Chain A
Amino acid sequence: MDVLKKVPVKEQDAKVRAANFQEVCLGYNKEEAMEEATRCINCKNAQCIKGCPVSINIPGFIEKVKEGKIEEAYQIISESSALPAVCGRVCPQESQCEGKCIRGIKGEALSIGKLERFVADYARENGIRPQGAEKKNGKKVAVIGSGPSGLTCAGDLAKLGYEVTIFEALHEPGGVLVYGIPEFRLPKSAVVAKEIENVKALGVKIETNVVVGKSVTIDELLEEEGFDAVYIGSGAGLPKFMGIPGEQANGVFSANEYLTRSNLMKAFDENSNTPIMRGKKVAVVGGGNVAMDAARTALRLGAEVHVVYRRSEEELPARVEEVHHAKEEGIIFNLLTNPTEILEDEKGWVKGIRCIKMELGEPDASGRRRPVEIPGSEFDMEVDTVIMSLGTSPNPLISSTTKGLEVNKRKCIVADEEFGKTPKEGVYAGGDAVTGAATVILAMGAGRAGARGIHEYLQNK
């Protein structure tokens, strides 16, 4: 064994998986996990814990894996994370826990994400569940949104004895875990649904089909329905469009629509009652994880797929692993390229996309080099489908219907970072609703902070 390298993880072959929706990464088995765990040098002042937004006791659980005591490893992870099977799969570990791993200085970091995933999968397959509160404390908390942030907050509060109800606008709980991240990265019924079952097993109630701001307001929950506190984890689900000519043509979709149809409504399955456009040649505009998800979905639906991104490969905001997977599967990257117009035929269907070449100029406020158009470099690409993946912002529905909440200029709800406290008494918020679109694990960290804030508030009330 080469201690400088990760124990490799099995994956579906690129050619095979490009034509199916089954999970790409197959995960470690027990032997492989135990072997990888021996690479951990059990640092005293473990940097990896600092890199984890929910501060999992990483050397602690890895020590148990090393000994083959997987159930004990699971209980250690559960102290900090409600969704380990999810996080082990979708966290950008390279910039979090694994980014800080001492092993990474010389050679490859420890495969913390894959080990967490193994432990969580093992626990699920062997019926091991997190432990709930022994006694209820009689206080009620409402959680708005059943994404990673809301689920974490609800789980933590339930463990502390609160009676928690989550209100979810869609017909299924999970937020971006069910409508956004595709099956081939995060299996829905096998993984997500089971983790949500674990949260319910802690005593959390989930009421679906409730659009807070329309079906009921936060003020009504506090004043009429007897909730003592509210946590807002409603996410950032409002898609952006470019505002270029032709964007209303048939065949232009937001990544949210395309992925919701495929993931939540199962439109990838030919027998689904929800249709999806199966294009022959698809352009995905954008370079984030959502763009990779949309591109790889379109590929699996049979299309030739181009990712059109205005900066260069170095600036791609998507995870390195996702870009790598996308390339392996045959996604074509058109970098330093920006659309200026969607071309439509006489019946209003997309027939192409007009682009302009870009070059990188001086760094902008975000520190990234600003892309600048190269005059006269326009060219047309023939495509029949365009998926806009330009990012999302928080939906104003909740902030506009709740007295006393504040939003900043990016429409994000204003809340403090440490406890998620908003200016409105008893109302806490976190996740993408506060930060704008970020990561699953940051949303979970915020949910955890919100639970701490609410506990502090209600204990002293």
Chain B
Amino acid sequence: MYKILEAKELAANIFYMVVEAKRVAKACKPGQFVIVRAAEDSERIPLTICDYDAEKGTVTIVFQIVGAGTLMMSGLKAGDAFHDFVGPLGCPSEFVEEDLETLKNKKLLFVAGGVGTAPVYPQVKWLHEHGIEADVIVGAKTKDLLILEEEMKAVAGNLYVTTDDGSYGRSGMVTQTITDLVEEGKHYDVCVAIGPMIMMKFVCKLTKELEIPTVVSLNPIMVDGTGMCGACRVTIDGEVKFACVDGPEFDGHKVNFDEAMQRQQIYKTAEGRAYLAAKEGATHHGGCGNCGN
């Protein structure tokens, strides 16, 4: 069992938990993920890692309620425990292996959408700890749904916040802010975009035009997360890859997003969609591949 040391709701339906998982915390690097099961009969759910502390043996996760599994998880409190918590899974972000001096000469831009802010955080934090200040754009639907702003501010070079409805920070989608920054004369060598599949697709479309190499972190359906089933297979540059072992990060300009979004729908029945609409209402951030958001 993996004890929950801290649990809070960051924004409506978005939860933050610090979990005791010594082996994961010790081996963890930015870009990796975990698979959790809340109870003995729960489904295996992949979650990106938001933070980790090898000394304390803790791993922080952030998740949004999108269905029965995450709804059940949201009811867990400090002192409760996850039945299973396995990781770290997937490959670490490429920059972890890169030569630091080369890396320092690059201008990096991180683009986070919604809950995608959580997995962007450990990457920006790692860079900050290694003396690299990356620019970060965080997009949220409305002000209420913005998460980890203070934490991100503490580790980012420049932080740009944008809300779809203009209720806070800049106004519009993250792609608008990217366009604005480039027009203001900013230059970026690499962009890392993490968020709903649809957001990553549009960021990639734009950065391709702008000729900024872009890395995305894909979130397909997973079961085991260790490469034994291929549920998470995606097509990268015409080749089939398993996101859980070959990714989850890939060259965004080579990802077949339409196929990836279509594959996310396999288990979405009509009832399931109705459930989502009822449960999430206006907070649904897209990425389900159905709603056009």
**Are A and B associated in one complex?**
yes
Of the stretches A42-50, A98-106, A208-216, A373-381, the one at the interface is A208-216
Tell me the minimal C-beta distance from B39 to chain A in angstroms. 9
**Chain B residues near A266 (CB, 8 Å)?**
41
- The answer to whether A248 touches B233 (Cβ under 8 A) is yes
Of the stretches B85-93, B187-195, B210-218, the one at the interface is B85-93
- The answer to whether A273 touches B41 (Cβ under 8 A) is yes
Q: Which residue of A is nearest B90, CB measured?
A: A214
- The answer to whether A208 touches B84 (Cβ under 8 A) is yes
- The answer to whether A248 touches B259 (Cβ under 8 A) is yes
If A237-B228, A247-B240, A254-B229 touch, whether A260 touches B223 (CB-CB below 8 Å) is: yes
Tell me the minimal C-beta distance from B171 to chain A in angstroms. 34
A169 to B227 alpha-carbon distance, docked (Å): 11
If A214-B27, A248-B233, A250-B266 touch, whether A395 touches B87 (CB-CB below 8 Å) is: no
Q: Which residue of B is nearest A272, CB measured?
A: B41
Give chain A interface residues in 399-428, CB to chain B under 8 Å.
none
B43 within 8 Å of A (CB atoms)? yes
- The answer to whether A257 touches B37 (Cβ under 8 A) is no
B13 within 8 Å of A (CB atoms)? no
**Chain B residues near A170 (CB, 8 Å)?**
224, 226
Report the interface size for chain A: residues with CB under 8 A from the other chain: 37
* Neighbour of A214 across the interface among B89, B223, B229, B235, CB < 8 A: B89
A277 within 8 Å of B (CB atoms)? yes
- The answer to whether B228 touches A274 (Cβ under 8 A) is no
**Chain B residues near A260 (CB, 8 Å)?**
223-224, 228-229
**Chain A residues near B37 (CB, 8 Å)?**
171
B106 within 8 Å of A (CB atoms)? no
* Neighbour of B43 across the interface among A241, A254, A274, A347, CB < 8 A: A274
* Neighbour of A256 across the interface among B27, B86, B88, B230, CB < 8 A: B230
A248 to B261 alpha-carbon distance, docked (Å): 12
- The answer to whether A254 touches B88 (Cβ under 8 A) is no
* Neighbour of B226 across the interface among A169, A248, A265, A275, CB < 8 A: A169
* Neighbour of A171 across the interface among B69, B83, B265, CB < 8 A: B83
Give chain B interface residues in 173-228, CB to chain A under 8 Å.
223-224, 226-228
**Chain B residues near A448 (CB, 8 Å)?**
none
Chain B 34-56, CB-CB to A under 8 Å as 1, else 0, gives 00010001111000000000000
* Neighbour of B223 across the interface among A261, A347, A395, CB < 8 A: A261
**Chain A residues near B235 (CB, 8 Å)?**
248
A311 to B86 alpha-carbon distance, docked (Å): 41
- The answer to whether B228 touches A239 (Cβ under 8 A) is yes
* Neighbour of B263 across the interface among A238, A248, A397, CB < 8 A: A248
**Chain A residues near B231 (CB, 8 Å)?**
253-254, 257
- List 13 other contacts, CB 8 Å, given A273-B42, A277-B266: A209-B86, A216-B27, A238-B228, A239-B229, A248-B240, A250-B266, A253-B231, A254-B229, A256-B230, A257-B230, A257-B231, A274-B223, A395-B226
Q: Which 3 A-B pairs have the closest CB atoms?
A: A257-B229, A237-B228, A209-B86
Q: What is B's interface to A at a CB cutoff of 8 Å?
A: 23-24, 27, 37, 41-44, 68-69, 83-89, 223-224, 226-231, 233, 235, 240, 245, 259, 262-263, 265-267
